[in-house]
Amino acid sequence: MALYNKAAEILEKVETKQAAVKTLVYESKFQNIKQLFALVCETQKFSSILQEIIESTKLLKHTKIKMNLAKVLVYDLVIGKGLKCGGAWKTLMLKHRSRLQAALARMKIKQKVSCNLDLLPSNLQQCEGDQLPRYVRVNTLKTTVEDTVDYFKREGFSYLGKAYRLDDLKLNGKSFVGDLHLSDLLVFSAKTDFHDHYLYKAGHIILQDKASCLPAYLLNPPAGSHVLDACAAPGNKTSHLAAIMKNKGRLFAFDLDAKRLATMSTLLLRAGVTCQQLANQDFLKVEPDALQYKDVKYILLDPSCSGSGMVCLRDEVSSSQKEKDSRRLKALAAFQLRCLNHALRFPSLQRLVYSTCSIHSEENEQVVAACLQQNPSFRLVPLLQQWPERGLSPLTHCLRASTTKTLTHGFFVALLERHTAQSLNEQSTQTLNPVAEMSLFNPSASEEKAEAEEANITENGDEEVQEPGNTTKDLDVTDKASPDEEQTRTLGGAKRKRKRKRKMKDRDMEVLVPTTTEKQTGSSVGAKKNRKNKKDVAKGQ
């Protein structure tokens, strides 16, 4: 029974994004880690199919067990190797075996497929996540890149120098390289696992996908600055910010979820972070004009999203779910826009990074475009010219990431900057703002439609919005929207007036000129360095 109980517990945590599957499995101290890992991953992969079987057979009602436990048991019973262990669970489930098998058979007939794997969309038939490089962020609060490289070399790993093109990140065996974009990132072959490694346990290295390192790297707050991490737990980006700030200054971090914040507190301790001030608080209720935030110049906003970029979390979408999902996306986007607008109200704010691990433009470009239209004193900063994947046109100043083009999980990052007096003066000589040219999106329209849903999300916190593919909670988000329709209409009228005013302002919005930061980042990975990197790799350093 222990295997199924543990797998269900981990599944629950993964779906509420408390940590990655691997981390949770390793930290579970379960005897047979491989078996547990395989069961969780496979159950997750078949999650929506299992849910459909469970719902159509009314299994929860008949057995009184919870959804995630039912999923792991049903997976092993009808898709996996059969229930090998399970004690009382096994006896209980065997009573329902034929009904469950019949439900699975009906699904296959309906979809005209003969094997279980074919029920999955092609992207899930093999998890691309397993083929991504293993990224290791060196925690510069505790060690240096050089010392970490030496440590791994002494352990028999072979350092090939700094990578200078994407293909250099496709590694085999025990070779590793320095990343081509981020100087504190080392890259190992996909199969390398450091969850049991001393450097990981001691907080010297952080196991973090490359794309998720971009927000703190691009925000780049100087040591001594006041920084706010709006939706911070479990805190990988917070610890990255602290490392960039050299633990000097103040780092205000908020999260609505007490459990995640507790995990974050442990992780920050392990990482040697000391400049943080954690608060279990709804960011939307944080008062921007409060005295303690008067010097906050940098904000990192990584709000709850659909998680559609996380390759192992990608769930296939049955046709009945599509409608629900699109309503859920609108609700998420409205929540994200509200967070973004709120963040821009901090009086001293200069730069803000907005990021999501979503691949949907509704949560990415459309949110940013709507925000820029509503906040004409902010503009987009063009990011890393050499980054291979850009935001959807016309928001090409933003970055996107994907398994194919950047060898990372799917991700989106935008950097917003407040206009300076000088840049405002330069406006008249600039070309048109790309946001004003956007014909692809109609953010204001979706904003109005989602407004009814928005109130529910923000009132109820993250519960309904943070997990990808949790259909029960999805229902909560969308179902509760209807009572607010009346209010939406009233708000809609006022909003249209504001929109007309905004349109006038938008015409004056300026273009995005390269900033100091861009020049800095550009030179750090510029041509000169690339030539050196090329030599390093060639020399096998």
Ligand X SMILES: C[S@@+](CC[C@H](N)C(=O)[O-])C[C@H]1O[C@@H](n2cnc3c(N)ncnc32)[C@H](O)[C@@H]1O
231 marked among binding-site residues = yes
Please select the residue that binds ligand X; options are 241, 284, 349, 371, rule is CB under 6 A. 284
Q: Cβ neighbours of residue 205 under 8 Å, at least 6 residues apart? A: 136, 137, 138, 139, 148, 186, 194, 197, 199
Per-residue interface string for the shown chain with ligand X, residues 186-225, x marking contact by CB under 6 A: ----------------------------------------
Alpha-carbon span 225 to 248, nearest angstrom: 7
Return d(Cα 506, Cα 267) in angstroms, integer.
43
Smallest distance, ligand X to C-beta of residue 329, A: 15
Query: Binding marks (x or -) toward ligand X, 237..256, rule CB under 6 A?
Result: x----------------xxx
User: 41, 357, 371, 398: which is the annotated catalytic residue?
Assistant: 357
Q: CA-CA-CA-CA torsion for 34, 36, 39, 40, nearest 10 degrees?
A: -110
Residues β-bridged to residue 299: 228, 352
Binding flag, residue 149, ligand X (CB under 6 A): no
**Whole-angstrom Cα distance, residue 467 to residue 186?**
29
255 is in an annotated binding site: yes
The radius of gyration of the chain from alpha carbons, rounded to an integer in Å, stands at 24
Q: How far is CA 247 from CA 241, 268, 302, in A?
A: 9, 11, 21
Please tell me whether residue 453 binds ligand X under the rule CB under 6 A. Answer: no
DSSP state of 463: G
Map residues 7-46 to x or -, x wherever contact with ligand X holds by CB under 6 A.
----------------------------------------
Shortest Å distance, C-beta 181 to ligand X:
18
Residue 236 among known ligand-binding residues:
yes
| 282 marked as binding residue | yes
- Assess whether 357 carries a catalytic annotation: yes
Quick one: tokens of 159? Answer: 């350092």
- DSSP at 92: H
Asked if 464 interacts with ligand X (CB under 6 A), we say no
Instruction: Identify which of residues 177 and 267 has a Cβ nearer to ligand X in the complex.
Output: 267
Stretch that binds ligand X, among 108-116, 151-159, 235-243, 310-318 (CB under 6 A): 235-243
Choice from 52, 179, 257, 476 touching ligand X (CB under 6 A): 257
| Cα angle for residues 406, 303, 205 (degrees, 5° grid) | 55
The CB-of-177 to ligand X minimum distance in angstroms stands at 24
Decide: 189 and 171 in contact? Cβ < 8 Å.
yes
For residue 260, state whether it binds ligand X (rule: CB under 6 A).
yes
- 176 - beta bridge partners? 159, 188
Query: Using the rule CB under 6 A, which residue among 233, 311, 413, 512 binds ligand X?
Result: 233
For residues 382 and 397, is the Cβ–Cβ distance under 8 A? Answer: yes
Distance between CA 299 and CA 231 in Å, rounded? 10
Binding site for ligand X (CB under 6 A): 231-237, 254-257, 260, 282-284, 302-304, 461-462, 466
Known binding-site residue numbers: 231-237, 255, 282, 302
Known binding-site residue numbers for S-adenosyl-L-methionine: 231-237, 255, 282, 302
